């Protein structure tokens, strides 16, 4: 059993964002604004607020604006200070005071498993988290902390699962699980990456939060290309789920809280509207407008 605190988070951001072309022709998809912050900032804030100030982003071409975003911009800060716009100044500073962010290029775009393997040297021999940028978990939830606890208790690797409609399962990794009596986590027996609906072992979908035992690195080294010709993290976790010994075993936390998907256009629009409508400054007017808008659209 290992109970070292998890203080490193790996965030793979090398994806091309083809679903959002042409918006993502010259801009990373992670920089798309969700209300007034880029999507990636929510993810970094979640890691930091879950006790992981050491962040490694696995980046690629076209991603330089991510580094710029988390860096200081003295000129903007000075301008806001001169104007006495202290609220905005605080917000601008906050985005460059989020832990210590490291950047490493993925090199070859060989899939999520490959991106995670690139983190090996930085992470070393300790459990670590992986956060995927398409999933936003509401700041009021404590999913990642719960997963860290389960990792410490089980000594294995931990994934986050949600229940989806059966016809949606082919967009996700899918888990076959067993209930663990008296525990708030489940045991993962089997994982399949993006199965067809009629071949899926369940309707439990893997979402983009993982707390992994470093044993995953050795497994990833040996994992060949899987679905889509890419090295899949799901396949490496399937190997760990079936293995025995130090670092083996995969466990799942079934999440029923607030989550926003920014990975495709429709979900992204829903995420923006949901988060904006909950904001004190924008919510009341936006909700009023939405009511009129839907009434007009129905008429
Ligand atoms: C990745 C994983 C998949 C998981 C999903 C969650 O897929 O491979 O198992 O369900 O993230 O967002 P991607 O969405 O990157 O294709």
Give me the number of domains the chain comprises: 2
DSSP state of 170: G
Of all protein residues, the one whose alpha carbon is nearest to atom 10 of ligand 1 is 172
Same domain, 299 and 169: no
Q: Are residues 271 and 253 in the same domain?
A: no
**pLDDT at position 2:** 46
How deeply is 64 buried, as exposed, middle or buried, from its count of CB atoms within 10 A (0-12, 13-18, 19+)? Answer: exposed
Q: Are residues 150 and 296 in the same domain?
A: no
Q: Would you say residue 2 lies in a domain?
A: no
Q: State the CB neighbour count (10 A cutoff) for residue 141.
A: 15
Which residue's alpha carbon is at the smallest distance from atom 15 of ligand 1? 112
In tens digits, the chain (299 residues) has pLDDT values of 445 689 999 999 999 889 999 999 999 999 999 999 999 999 999 999 999 999 999 999 889 999 999 999 999 999 999 999 999 999 999 999 998 999 999 999 899 999 999 999 999 999 999 999 999 999 999 999 999 999 999 999 999 999 999 999 999 999 999 999 999 999 999 999 999 999 999 999 999 999 999 999 999 999 999 999 999 999 999 999 999 999 999 999 999 999 999 999 999 999 999 999 999 999 999 999 999 999 998 88
* Pocket probe mutation, ligand 1, options 114, 173, 209, 226, max atoms within 8 Å of Cβ: 173
The bridge status of strand 54-59 relative to strand 8-12 is: parallel
CATH number at residue 256: 3.90.550.10
Does residue 218 fall inside a structural domain? Answer: yes
Please check whether residues 142 and 274 belong to one and the same domain. Answer: no
**Are residues 293 and 239 part of one domain?**
no
Q: Is-contact 40 69, C-beta < 8 A?
A: yes
For the question of whether the overall pTM of this predicted structure is more than 0.75, the answer is: yes
Q: Tell whether 119 and 218 lie within a shared domain.
A: yes
> CA angle, 49 as apex, 3 and 136 as ends, to 5°?
105
The protein residue whose alpha carbon is closest to atom 9 in ligand 1 is 173
> For ligand 1, what atom is nearest to the CA of residue 234?
9
| pLDDT recorded at residue 5 | 84
Q: Say if residue 25 is in the same domain as residue 44.
A: yes
Is 186 among the domain residues? yes
Please tell me the distance from the alpha carbon of residue 30 to that of residue 263, in angstroms, as a whole number: 10
Q: How far is residue 174's CA from residue 187's CA, in Å, rounded to a whole number? A: 13
Q: Quick one: 80 and 185 in the same domain? A: yes
177 shares a domain with 290: no
**What pLDDT does residue 299 have?**
84
Q: Which of 231, 167, 226 is nearest to 199 (CA)?
A: 167
Domain of residue 35 covers 8-263
* 115 Rama sector, left if φ>0, alpha if ψ -120 to 50, beta otherwise: alpha
Q: Are residues 151 and 20 part of one domain? A: yes
Question: Does any ligand 1 atom lie closer than 6 A to the CB of residue 173?
Answer: yes
Q: How far apart are CA 153 and CA 87, in angstroms?
A: 42
Is 213 part of a structural domain of the chain?
yes
Q: Tell me if 47 sits within 8 A of 57, measured CB to CB.
A: no
**Do 73 and 112 lie in a common domain?**
yes
């Amino acid at each position: 059993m290992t109970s070292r605190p998890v203080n490193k988070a790996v965030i793979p951001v090398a994806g091309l964002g083809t679903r959002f072309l042409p918006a993502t022709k010259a801009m990373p998809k992670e920089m798309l604004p969700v209300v007034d912050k880029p999507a990636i900032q929510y993810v970094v804030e979640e890691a930091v607020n879950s006790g992981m100030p050491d962040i490694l982003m696995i980046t690629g071409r076209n991603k330089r604006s991510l580094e710029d975003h988390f860096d200081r911009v003295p000129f903007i800060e000075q301008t806001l200070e001169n104007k006495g716009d202290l609220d905005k100044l605080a917000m601008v500073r906050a985005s460059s005071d989020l832990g210590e962010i490291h950047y490493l290029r993925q090199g070859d775009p060989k899939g999520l498993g490959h991106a995670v393997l690139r983190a090996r040297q930085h992470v070393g021999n300790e459990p670590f988290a992986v956060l995927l940028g398409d999933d936003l978990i509401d700041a009021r939830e404590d999913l990642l902390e719960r997963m860290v606890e389960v990792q410490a208790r089980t000594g294995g690797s931990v994934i986050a699962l949600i229940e989806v409609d059966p016809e949606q399962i082919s967009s996700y990794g899918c888990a076959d699980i067993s209930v663990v009596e008296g525990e708030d986590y489940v045991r993962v027996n089997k994982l399949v990456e993006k199965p067809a609906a009629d071949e899926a072992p369940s309707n439990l979908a893997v979402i983009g939060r993982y707390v992994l035992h470093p044993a995953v690195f050795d497994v990833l080294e040996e994992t060949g290309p899987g679905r889509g010709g890419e090295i899949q993290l799901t396949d490496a976790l399937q190997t760990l789920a079936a293995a025995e010994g130090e670092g083996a075993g995969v466990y799942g936390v079934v999440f029923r809280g607030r989550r926003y998907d920014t990975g495709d256009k429709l979900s992204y629009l829903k995420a923006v509207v949901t988060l904006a409508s909950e904001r004190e400054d924008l919510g009341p007017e936006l909700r009023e407008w939405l009511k009129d808008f839907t009434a007009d659209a129905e008429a």
